[in-house]
Structure 1
């Protein structure tokens, strides 16, 4: 097996990703990552000369979203009709931070 990554490389990656590794885990992770890279080696052997890159697997997919146009909507009263609690034209919801109560 070829040594693509050193233990220092793996430790740096783990530090960057904020993953704590023991010395034993570092050795195992280095072995595993190098094995994965070796497994992917056949991909580099394909002849891709003349192959046009694709940017989306579905090909000519285009944006199918509607235009963002202004239209009539709910009134404030209708929007608040089913609110369990409301205050001054707004939804009143339980506080999840701080001293509690409704906000």
Structure 2
């Protein structure tokens, strides 16, 4: 296995990514990353002469999002219709902080 990344490289990547690694983890991560890079070696065996690079797998795909269309929403009464508890036009839910009870 060739060494594509050094431990210094892995430390720099970890620091840039804000990942704390111990000395043992740096050694293990260096070996793992180099093994991953080596596993991609068969790709280099393909003859790609004259094949243009593809930057997006779907080619010239444009923005396919639909236009925002305003639609009517629920009324307050419809929204509260199935609420187990309600008070003054709002949902009444169990408290998760403090002394408990509904809030």
Quick check: TM above 0.5? yes
Deviation at residue 36 of structure 1 after TM alignment? 1.4
Residues 54, 13 of structure 1: alpha-carbon distance in 2 compared, 3 angstrom cutoff? closer
Work out whether 1:69 is the aligned partner of 2:69: yes
Unaligned runs of 5+ in 2: none
Deviation at residue 57 of structure 1 after TM alignment? 4.6
Who is 2:54 aligned against? Answer: 53
The number of aligned residues is 100
RMSD over aligned Cα atoms = 3.1
TM-score with structure 1 setting the length: 0.66
Unaligned runs of 5+ in 1: none
Deviation at residue 85 of structure 1 after TM alignment? 1.5
TM-score with structure 2 setting the length: 0.66
